Amino acid sequence: MHLGLALGAAGGSSLSYGDEWAGAGALDSITLNVIVLNPSLSYKINDQWSVGGGVQFSWAAFEQSTARVTAEQDTDWAYGYNLGVMYRPTDKLDFGLSYRSKSEHSFDADIKGTDLSVATDVTVPEIVDLSMRYGVREDLNLLASVQFHRWSQWDETVLDLGVTEMGGLAIQRDWDDVWKFAVGADYRLNNDWRLKAGFSYETSPQDDSSKQWVDLPVGEQYRYSVGASTNWDDIVVDFFYEYADLGEVESAKRSPGGNFVGVNGTFEGRIHFVGVNFTF
Domain that holds residue 163: 125-279
Note the pLDDT of residue 234: 83
Q: Is residue 118 part of a domain?
A: no
Q: Is residue 147 part of a domain?
A: yes
pLDDT at position 93 over 90: yes
pLDDT mean across residues, the chain: 88
Q: Is residue 83 part of a domain?
A: no
Question: DSSP secondary-structure letter at 148?
Answer: E
Note the pLDDT of residue 245: 95
Among 42, 39, 41, 20, smallest CA distance to 29 is for: 20
By residue count, the chain amounts to: 280
- CB burial of 180-192 (b: ≥16 within 10 Å; e: otherwise) equals bebebebeeeeee
Q: What is the CATH number of the domain that holds 135?
A: 2.40.160.60
pLDDT at position 144 over 80: yes
What SS3 state is found at 15?
strand
pLDDT tens, residue by residue, 206-222: 988 888 888 888 899 99
106-110, 116-120, 254-258: least confidently modelled range: 254-258
pTM recorded for the entire structure = 0.86
The distance in angstroms from the start CA to the end CA of the chain is 17
Note the pLDDT of residue 163: 55
Note the pLDDT of residue 162: 61
Rounded Cα gap, residues 94 and 88, in angstroms:
5
pLDDT at position 166 over 60: no
pLDDT at position 84 over 60: yes
- Interval 80-90 mean pLDDT: 97
Q: Is residue 28 part of a domain?
A: no
Count of structural domains within the chain: 1
Asked whether the beta carbons of 278 and 192 are under 8 A apart, the reply is no
